[in-house]
């Protein structure tokens, strides 16, 4: 069985966010925005990566001081800034993948040409207490963003966060919602199954989360519910027995960075590609992919701006060229 991964550089443009999820250790109250020169420096350090992963807080312009900083850089809004940083990555030889939180149809359409793929975690398709202060985590709003990405034919990543107060049937329902979205629009390339890990200093730092055996069962359920062509991703830095998840049906390891940490889970370092190969052994074939999956490479679901890079980086099967 082929197990895929992507070489990336993780670019956290801002930790300011309108949501106040009770488990989040990423969000910051102090003003935070990477400058264009900061982004440039980080990109230039990532010599072996092909993907530029842009992840940040949702709707940071709710802060007046954030908007003022944006304007000092010459931008009128944050989506315009994101597109500019996407283009900076492209000019430096990287394929952008942007996780921007909830976006409108028009914002998705604006960012599409500058991204090989985009993403938004559904998390759960039901309302939970941990999201009571997070307007962007309302399930119907997130589902609508994923629908709009499908209408625009954007290769898309979504997923569920488990162990945040949901019930077993909530997880199954959330996976069924994702399966229906794929059935209707055909744009979901992978689904991340991620276990909540408590972060110190958050309201849920003492919250009891799932065991790894329970998480393996979630992967098995996901494989039964999701179409076979939709990959199931397990972050390899957040689990101990990776092969158990692969045997349960996971077949992607997400983005691996050689120079940047997992800013969402900084306590969990990325394993190297060589370490991953040793862990999975000869039973699985480790294969590099691009942020746009092989199926969508063949369908040519990308803009003219990305023509040169995707043709340069992809092989005849749509995987990363070796």
Q: Tell whether the model's pLDDT for residue 258 goes beyond 90.
A: no
Domains of the chain: 2-313 (3.20.20.70)
Q: Tell whether the model's pLDDT for residue 312 goes beyond 90.
A: yes
190 close to 233: Cβ distance less than 8 angstroms: yes
Are β-strands 188-195 and 156-162 bridged in parallel, bridged antiparallel, or unpaired? parallel
> Residue 322 has what pLDDT?
84
- 3-class DSSP assignment, residue 233: strand
Cβ neighbours of 3 (radius 10 Å): 21
136 Cβ neighbours under 8 A, 6+ residues apart: 18, 19, 58, 59, 101, 102, 142
> Residue 259 has what pLDDT?
87
112 Cβ neighbours under 8 A, 6+ residues apart: 118, 152, 154, 303
Average of pLDDT values for 49-70? Answer: 96
Please, what is the average pLDDT of the chain?
96
Angle made by CA atoms 293, 297, 298, in degrees to the nearest 5: 120
pLDDT, tens digit (0-9, with 9 covering 90-100), for 107-153: 999 999 999 999 999 999 999 999 999 999 999 999 999 999 999 99
Q: How far is Cα 317 from Cα 314, in angstroms, rounded to an integer?
A: 8
Average of pLDDT values for 188-196? Answer: 97
153 close to 101: Cβ distance less than 8 angstroms: no
Calculate Rg over the CA atoms of the chain: 18
pLDDT band at 263 (very low <50, low <70, confident <90, very high): confident
> Residue 82 has what pLDDT?
98
Lowest-confidence pick of 76-90, 96-110, 252-266: 252-266
27 Cβ neighbours under 8 A, 6+ residues apart: 15, 16, 17, 19, 20, 21, 57
> Residue 174 has what pLDDT?
98
Q: Tell whether the model's pLDDT for residue 207 goes beyond 90.
A: yes
β-partners of residue 220 are none
DSSP E strands in the chain: the ranges are: 2-12, 51-55, 95-99, 117-119, 156-162, 188-195, 231-233, 252-256, 285-288
Helices 78-91, 64-72: inter-axial angle, 10-degree rounding? 40
256 Cβ neighbours under 8 A, 6+ residues apart: 5, 6, 7, 8, 236, 270, 271, 272, 273, 276
212 Cβ neighbours under 8 A, 6+ residues apart: 195, 239, 240, 241, 244
> Residue 260 has what pLDDT?
87
> Residue 201 has what pLDDT?
94
Q: Tell whether the model's pLDDT for residue 94 goes beyond 90.
A: yes
Q: Tell whether the model's pLDDT for residue 47 goes beyond 90.
A: no
Cβ neighbours of 64 (radius 10 Å): 8
- 3-class DSSP assignment, residue 95: strand
pLDDT band at 262 (very low <50, low <70, confident <90, very high): confident
179-215 burial by CB neighbour count: b if 16+ within 10 A, else e? bebbeebbbbbbbbbbbbbebeebebeebebbeeeeb
pLDDT band at 63 (very low <50, low <70, confident <90, very high): very high
117 Cβ neighbours under 8 A, 6+ residues apart: 97, 154, 155, 156, 157, 189, 291, 292, 293, 296
> Residue 264 has what pLDDT?
87
> Residue 282 has what pLDDT?
87
């Amino acid at each position: 069985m082929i197990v895929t991964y992507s070489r990336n550089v993780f670019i956290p443009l801002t930790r300011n966010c309108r949501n106040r999820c009770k488990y989040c250790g990423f969000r910051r109250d102090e003003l935070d925005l990477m400058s264009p020169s900061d982004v440039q420096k980080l990109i230039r350090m990532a010599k072996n990566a092909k993907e530029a992963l842009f992840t940040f807080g949702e709707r940071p312009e709710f802060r007046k001081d954030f908007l003022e900083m944006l304007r000092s850089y010459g931008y009128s809004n944050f989506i315009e800034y994101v597109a500019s940083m996407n283009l900076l990555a492209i000019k430096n030889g990287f394929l952008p993948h942007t996780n921007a939180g909830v976006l409108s149809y028009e914002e998705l359409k604006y960012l599409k040409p500058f991204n090989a793929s985009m993403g938004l975690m559904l998390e759960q398709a039901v309302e939970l207490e941990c999201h009571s202060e997070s307007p962007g985590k309302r399930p119907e709003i997130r589902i609508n963003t994923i629908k709009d990405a499908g209408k625009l034919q954007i290769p898309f990543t979504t997923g569920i966060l488990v162990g945040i107060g949901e019930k077993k049937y909530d997880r199954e329902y959330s996976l069924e919602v994702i399966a229906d979205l794929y059935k209707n629009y055909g744009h979901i390339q992978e689904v991340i199954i991620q276990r909540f890990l408590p972060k110190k200093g958050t309201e849920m730092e003492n919250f009891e989360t799932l065991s790894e055996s329970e998480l393996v069962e979630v992967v098995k359920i996901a494989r039964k519910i999701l179409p076979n062509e939709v990959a199931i991703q397990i972050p390899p830095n957040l689990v101990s027995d990776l092969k158990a998840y692969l045997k349960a049906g996971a077949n992607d390891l997400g983005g691996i960075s050689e120079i940047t940490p997992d800013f969402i889970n900084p306590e969990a370092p990325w394993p190297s590609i060589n370490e991953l190969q040793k862990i999975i052994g000869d039973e699985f074939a480790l294969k590099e992919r691009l942020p746009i999956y092989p199926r969508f490479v063949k369908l040519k679901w990308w803009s003219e701006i990305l023509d040169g890079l995707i043709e340069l980086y992809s092989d005849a099967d749509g995987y990363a060229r070796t």
